[in-house]
Chains A and B, each alone.
Chain A
Amino acid sequence: MLLADFLIHLLLVAIMPPLLFGIINRTKALIAGRTGPPLLQTYYDLYRLLRKGTVFSKTTTWVFKAGPIVTLATLLIASLLIPLGNHHPPVSFNGDMILFAYLLALGRFFTTIAALDTGSCFEWMGSVREVSFSCLAEPVVFIVLLSLSRLSGSLSLSGLLTYSSAMLWMTSGAAMIMLVASLFFILLAENCRIPFDDPNTHLELTMIHEVMALDHSGPAYGMIIYGATLKLFILGAFFLHVALPLRISNGYLDWLFFMGSIILLSVVVGLVESCMARFRMTRVPQMLLSACVLSTFAMILVLR
């Protein structure tokens, strides 16, 4: 692969993710008739947090400090595995899809045990919810990966994701519709967006993800926010391969197309958030179960 593509990949991963949050918030503000925060607000927040000092509670151990670092590190490694648009990722080998899924799981594991380490019952509650919901979300990711792998005949993430194209929609469109539907559920659930979780809620009792980051401060909290945006970026890139697989096969146009489509995806997420209320907590597993069922249907169609 070309050095230029490699550098652009790293640059996009490093710089673009916080912009997505800005776009989502701007979309929500515009729909609600407000001016809203500036597009670059997340960058300002990160800069402010990075300059601050950190406070660690005396009851916490090294696990608490390691939590944000490990989570961010796993996400950064995962971002090296995922192809952005029609370009091959910097790292790619057979079976890296398993590594990808487990990197996300490892990041989640460290977020939850860091939260448990504080001994706060709110954080405990958030961890329980996060883990039990991800129990239902993870099979979907695997089933989707399996179906795509079967369609493309490839075992590496870059092979099976860049295989999908407009032609695939013609030949096995039925399966693709279901994959897109289930992946969109997962995209929203994993990134704690409405209707699964409200990123702007102010009540600890109703939080899922935010409650686990309550005790972090300063640069550690900045890492958590950056990690959250990076996760949206990675899963968004994943989703776009299935939902909008247009290949121009001109290197730079492809990069532009990728950036345009992920911005479009953020707008769509913002629109979904503006027109939906959040689900009652008891309904979240039911919706994730539906996503599971959808992806299973897709696999049946693919295997058929």
Chain B
Amino acid sequence: MNFVADQFLAIVLLINIVILGTRRIDIAIRAISIQGIFIGLVPILMHNFSYHLLAMTLLVLAVKAIFIPWLLLRATRKVHFTEDVRPLFGYSGNIIACALTTVLAFAIATHLPLTTAHQGLLIVPVSLATILAGAINLGTRRKAIDQVVGYLLLENGIFLFGLLLTETMPLMVEAGALLDLIAGIFVMGIIINHINREFSSIDTSHMTALREPE
């Protein structure tokens, strides 16, 4: 089933570009939810069936594809913002950066000392590319909610990398990681609300100014 997993991973790469290039937050959130579905389905395609794997897949799908996107969409509806804050290097800059880091990820992945079972897989380069895409989104976006999406992208990349160890990783560890993720999103949601109330905008670049906004 590895070829299906490869196609899923290709779609994950495509979604990275969508998230980095879009200027609408609802599209970014829906994209990250779809990415969650594809990432969640990869382990069940790669490894032999076991109940442990099934439980993990269901848990990941519930959290990444449904619960967190629902939370974020709710937050965007509550905090009304329509301003278009350009990322640091513009949208095209983001896309080019995404392309460069993906090339870099593929270059690095061929040099990593992986076990022979993992060498031909797309998982390592795609996970590195997704982590880097998340880092770019976190670093260049200026709206807090976009940065949350970047954080989720980063987490998706880390999850993919963790798949190499799925068979040895206990369910508790996965569940703990997901719980951390949810807690992180909650905290960020509260912070977004506070930023919005304080500055009547969720552009985080206001936070570096010493004077109060006039």
Contact = CB atoms under 8 A, between A and B. Distances in A.
16 contacts: A174-B7, A174-B9, A177-B7, A177-B14, A178-B14, A181-B14, A286-B95, A293-B17, A293-B95, A293-B99, A293-B102, A294-B17, A296-B99, A297-B99, A300-B103, A301-B122
A294 B4 contact: no
A201 B204 CA distance: 40
Interface residues of B, number: 22
Contact of B10 (A173, A289, A293): A173
A171 B17 contact: no
A294 B14 contact: yes
A110 B89 CA distance: 36
Contacts of B103: 296, 300
Given A181-B14, A290-B17, A293-B98, A171 B3 contact: yes
Contacts of A171: 3
Nearest to B18: A290
B10 A175 contact: yes
Nearest to A298: B10
A174 B98 contact: no
Contacts of B161: none
B6 interface: yes
Interface string B78-111: 0000000000000110011011001100100010
Interface string A267-304: 00000000000000000011001100110110011001
Contacts of B10: 173-175, 177-178, 297, 301
A276 B110 CA distance: 40
Interface string A147-186: 0000000000000000000000011111101100100000
B69 interface: no
A258 B11 CA distance: 27
At the interface, is chain A mostly helix, strand, loop or mixed? helix
Interface in B1-29: 3-4, 6-7, 9-11, 13-14, 17, 21
A300 B3 contact: no
Most chain B CB within a 10 A radius of its CB, from A177, A178, A293: A293
B147 to A, nearest CB: 21
Interface string A97-122: 00000000000000000000000000
Those 5 A-B pairs whose CB atoms lie nearest each other, nearest first: A174-B10, A173-B7, A293-B99, A174-B6, A177-B10
B106 A173 contact: no
Contacts of B13: 178, 297
A214 B21 CA distance: 34
Given A289-B92, A289-B95, A293-B17, A174 B122 contact: yes
Contacts of B91: 286
A173 B6 contact: yes
B1 to A, nearest CB: 11
Nearest to A296: B99
Nearest to B23: A283
Given A177-B14, A296-B99, A301-B10, A290 B3 contact: no
A300 to B, nearest CB: 5
A125 B185 CA distance: 48
Interface in B144-187: none
Nearest to B122: A174
Interface in A121-155: none
B102 A286 contact: no
Q: Quick one: which of A172, A174, A178 has the most chain B CB within 10 A? A: A174
B4 A285 contact: no
Contacts of A172: 6
A285 B92 contact: yes
A266 to B, nearest CB: 24
